[in-house]
Structure 1
């Protein structure tokens, strides 16, 4: 029997995961961080920039199905895994998303993350 997956619900867990390893893919960004023996946990974040509630919920359902399938086999034990939806993720082919998630989990297992983001979120307001 595979280990039980639990869902992240507390904001503090999401913020902690943001300080971990980051692997960006066209449809999503995967964050992975050790969680001190709490088992394999996952969380999903999709912002309002992606679309209306119907679009965001559809994306979350797709991510949930991907994670429940892939994490027991390919996920890191005793780590939090957070998927952040990106703009093109809802239209991407499900098989393509599955391949991207497998590649991202393999990179995370190898400890190869993308460089950290610049402080300030990248978007700048024009000066007046």
Structure 2
């Protein structure tokens, strides 16, 4: 995922979270906001409760890998993906299916 397709700043995160259109599961909560710009952006948040920095960064890399084949950048929606504790006990494939299901609910 290219850097221009990522939500980085706290202000941008807050703006999307304030919009409050969300969908959730045991492993994730996804907040969305429609925009006029031609490409989508994604922000990933892994709480400190889930592990140390190495684990949190690994989780973010895994989620970015899950998002690559979905071609999110073609839509006009910003997404914030927040990881929940149930993510830890599930396999990569189960987490990937769950993420794809949620993104279809949001209509990527």
TM-score, normalised to structure 2, is 0.83
Q: Runs in 1 of length 4+ with deviation above 4 angstroms? A: none
Unaligned runs of 5+ in 2: none
Deviation at 1:14, TM superposition (A): 0.9
Q: 1:65 matched to which residue of 2?
A: 65
Q: 1:32 matched to which residue of 2?
A: 32
Q: Compare CA radii of gyration and give the structure with the larger one.
A: 1
Unaligned runs of 5+ in 1: 111-128
Pairwise CA RMSD: 2.3
Q: 1:44 matched to which residue of 2?
A: 44
Residues 83-112 of structure 1, C-alpha deviations (whole Å, 9 max, x = no match): 1011121332111112111211111129xx
Compared CA separation, residues 76 and 31, structure 1 to 2 (3 A): farther
TM-score, normalised to structure 1, is 0.71
Structure with a larger share of its residues in helix: 2
